[in-house]
A and B are shown apart, each in its own frame.
Chain A
């Protein structure tokens, strides 16, 4: 049984929306990272689906680049969180309120 591409695209859209809303709503920084990852992977799913629908392997190659970029982003993000953790024991975004205005 084959499933129409539209369903995959729909799934990707749902994942993306969950990631975006989660990023805006959640306050734990590590959860926010996960939401970013979810968004990037939704984009990956969209790429692969379109590549399949268009019979163009180029779209699948793009996924490689997005994957690597996502990994680099996570590493840097974790590094920043670790640096902040060591100053204060909190991973809650609302605690970061030194600057306002």
Chain B
């Protein structure tokens, strides 16, 4: 009998033993869900005008509390080691804590971006936060689940909230259409996933991941069709959630149609949760069967890399372009999964972590630029942005270049690590395709950057608008290189960043953020020639953007802490 379930197992036995529950192990999840419930209660009770403000405040507090709880967990796991708790349903290890930190940060950034969006669009209040918090808690459950059915529950908590979030802007027809497409394909993939669980359960007699691994290591499963079919169906289910290529059809439409802050959240959190579960299930539980699933992941990775990069080239809608780019990025993360060893897992985790900052920051800019109605997503809207709002353009350029994998950003090391892991695993063809697709991808990221730095009309460029001087200590060098439009960048020996080292990193980041948000805010004053063309940047969104850019640059220059974080998360992997 499987001891893996919380309730009902003992209905037949006279003595019921309630499982011991280690509340610290699920504290961030409880905080996220509790925060969501609290926001529902408070917003049901306060006046309508106050709802958004109160919701934002509560959501920020909740995200910070969850982040704090995750960091506490990190210390606890580092001291006392990993363990399985709550009757085997939850794994409490470095891996799960890593995902919880990632999701908490994604949540925090999303709230900061979402506040301005809600005020601008006037589409209802704190429900956005409630749903996002629930969705984030689902991703956390996926990260720490140690049982296939718990993974399924996490997947559904995450997805169902995301379906509604995609439909959030009821004034845009695209929003509803995106939600419906997402819902149909998402529930299709969930059904496939749960059928896969059923088959794996039948083949191994358990849904508990360690028990499955145990069973597979003790029994020789030659030609077990049921197990293989179950594995394939699970992989299809995950493939839908991470938008790997044969299962990516939903993602461009959904990315384009969903409200912009939600798209950023979706790209970051859904990927984090799905990749966490994918890594845990396939690398640790089905490790014995890797000869069977590695070729499938190999094919998924190659298809995602190529199709994502090539189709992104022809997009004029920036959100759609980012959707294909995120398919391409999913291909890169799959490299680490395909390697199926400690190094690959660490590389994938690092990638997911830094990608969270990059993509939410990017969508923060997209949100701000779209103006009321969430419509201005065409590439032409970005033309001449550097002239009008140099800091916004500089921030977006940095984030895009980081996604392209330019050195001295976090994106470079992310790509480098997954490719290195693939080479270590002797997947040379895969590594070569990845690098080629990275080169193609650089083109469409640069296209946006070049559009921003090309003159909008017939006005002469004058150097005083170069962002290099303005952006301040940590950001200066990078913004300068972005300004000149050359990906190779100036000599990156940023004196402050290099001298600061690990300890000084935070210190560098703080003034950078302050300067950036300040500058972005002062940008609002319309200069005569471009009056009406500048977009207002809400303070909170500017903060989120500043955090994302600062993280991307600072830890791109001083990568050790984050690499170490991901590496240790893997070491503490059960």
Residue of A nearest to B148 (CB): A62
B144-170 interface code vs A (CB 8 A; 1 in, 0 out): 000001001100100010011001001
Q: Give Cα distance in the complex from A60 to B94, angstroms.
A: 32
Given A19-B191, A40-B191, A69-B156, are A76 and B183 also a contact pair (CB < 8 Å)? yes
Q: Give Cα distance in the complex from A80 to B131, angstroms.
A: 15
Q: Give Cα distance in the complex from A58 to B201, angstroms.
A: 10
Given A23-B184, A46-B195, A59-B201, are A101 and B320 also a contact pair (CB < 8 Å)? yes
Interface membership of A54, Cβ < 8 A: yes
Given A58-B5, A73-B156, A99-B253, are A46 and B180 also a contact pair (CB < 8 Å)? no
Residue of A nearest to B196 (CB): A43
Chain A residues in 8 Å Cβ range of B253: 99
B202-215 interface code vs A (CB 8 A; 1 in, 0 out): 10011100000000
Q: Give Cα distance in the complex from A76 to B153, angstroms.
A: 16
Within 72-94 of A, Cβ neighbours of B (below 8 Å) are at 72-73, 76-77, 79-81, 83-84, 87, 93
Partner of A96, one of B170, B181, B195, B317: B181
Within 30-83 of A, Cβ neighbours of B (below 8 Å) are at 32, 36, 39-40, 42-43, 46-47, 49-50, 53-54, 56-62, 64-66, 69, 72-73, 76-77, 79-81, 83
Interface membership of B25, Cβ < 8 A: no
Chain A residues in 8 Å Cβ range of B458: none
Q: Which of A19, A42, A69 has the most CB of B within 10 A?
A: A69
Q: Give Cα distance in the complex from A36 to B186, angstroms.
A: 10
Q: Give Cα distance in the complex from A69 to B191, angstroms.
A: 10
Q: Give Cα distance in the complex from A27 to B26, angstroms.
A: 42
Residue of B nearest to A45 (CB): B198
Chain B residues in 8 Å Cβ range of A32: 184
Chain B residues in 8 Å Cβ range of A18: none
Q: Give Cα distance in the complex from A62 to B163, angstroms.
A: 24
Given A65-B149, A96-B177, are A29 and B184 also a contact pair (CB < 8 Å)? yes
Interface membership of B4, Cβ < 8 A: yes
Interface membership of B187, Cβ < 8 A: yes
B195 and A61 form a contact (CB under 8 A)? no
Partner of A46, one of B2, B174, B202, B256: B202
B167 and A83 form a contact (CB under 8 A)? yes
A65 and B152 form a contact (CB under 8 A)? yes
Within 1-54 of B, Cβ neighbours of A (below 8 Å) are at 1-2, 4-5, 7-9, 11-12
Partner of B191, one of A43, A50, A76, A83: A43
B191 and A39 form a contact (CB under 8 A)? yes
Chain B residues in 8 Å Cβ range of A59: 201
A26 to chain B, nearest CB (A): 11
Partner of A56, one of B163, B170, B205: B205
Interface membership of A4, Cβ < 8 A: no
B17 to chain A, nearest CB (A): 15
Q: Give Cα distance in the complex from A28 to B7, angstroms.
A: 38
Interface membership of A98, Cβ < 8 A: yes
Partner of B195, one of A39, A53, A57: A39
B173 and A98 form a contact (CB under 8 A)? yes
Q: Give Cα distance in the complex from A42 to B198, angstroms.
A: 10
Residue of A nearest to B156 (CB): A69
A3 to chain B, nearest CB (A): 17
A1-30 interface code vs B (CB 8 A; 1 in, 0 out): 000000001001000100110010000010
Chain B residues in 8 Å Cβ range of A77: 163, 183-184, 187
B77 to chain A, nearest CB (A): 27
Partner of A72, one of B11, B156, B188, B207: B156
Given A39-B191, A93-B184, are A72 and B160 also a contact pair (CB < 8 Å)? yes
B2 and A76 form a contact (CB under 8 A)? no
B205 and A54 form a contact (CB under 8 A)? yes
Chain B residues in 8 Å Cβ range of A9: 202
Chain A residues in 8 Å Cβ range of B85: none
Residue of B nearest to A75 (CB): B160
Q: Give Cα distance in the complex from A47 to B548, angstroms.
A: 45
Interface membership of B479, Cβ < 8 A: no
Q: Give Cα distance in the complex from A79 to B165, angstroms.
A: 12
Q: Give Cα distance in the complex from A61 to B178, angstroms.
A: 34
B205 and A73 form a contact (CB under 8 A)? no
Chain B residues in 8 Å Cβ range of A84: 176-177, 180
Interface membership of B273, Cβ < 8 A: no
Given A23-B184, A72-B156, A80-B179, are A58 and B9 also a contact pair (CB < 8 Å)? yes
Chain B residues in 8 Å Cβ range of A16: 191, 195
Partner of A83, one of B7, B12, B176: B176
Q: Which of A42, A76, A84, A87 has the most CB of B within 10 A?
A: A76
A64 to chain B, nearest CB (A): 7
Chain B residues in 8 Å Cβ range of A76: 160, 163-164, 183
B7 and A61 form a contact (CB under 8 A)? yes
Given A80-B163, A80-B179, A87-B173, are A50 and B198 also a contact pair (CB < 8 Å)? yes
A85 to chain B, nearest CB (A): 10
A58 and B206 form a contact (CB under 8 A)? yes
Chain B residues in 8 Å Cβ range of A12: 198
Interface membership of B192, Cβ < 8 A: yes
Interface membership of B315, Cβ < 8 A: yes
Known: A36-B191, A93-B180. 16 other contacts (CB 8 A): A23-B184, A29-B180, A36-B184, A43-B198, A53-B202, A58-B2, A61-B8, A69-B152, A69-B156, A72-B156, A80-B167, A80-B183, A87-B176, A96-B180, A99-B257, A101-B320
Across chains A and B, which 4 residue pairs bring their CB atoms closest together, nearest first? A39-B191, A50-B202, A46-B198, A58-B2
14 contacts between A and B (CB under 8 A): A12-B198, A16-B191, A20-B191, A43-B194, A46-B195, A58-B4, A58-B207, A61-B5, A69-B153, A79-B167, A84-B180, A96-B180, A99-B257, A101-B315
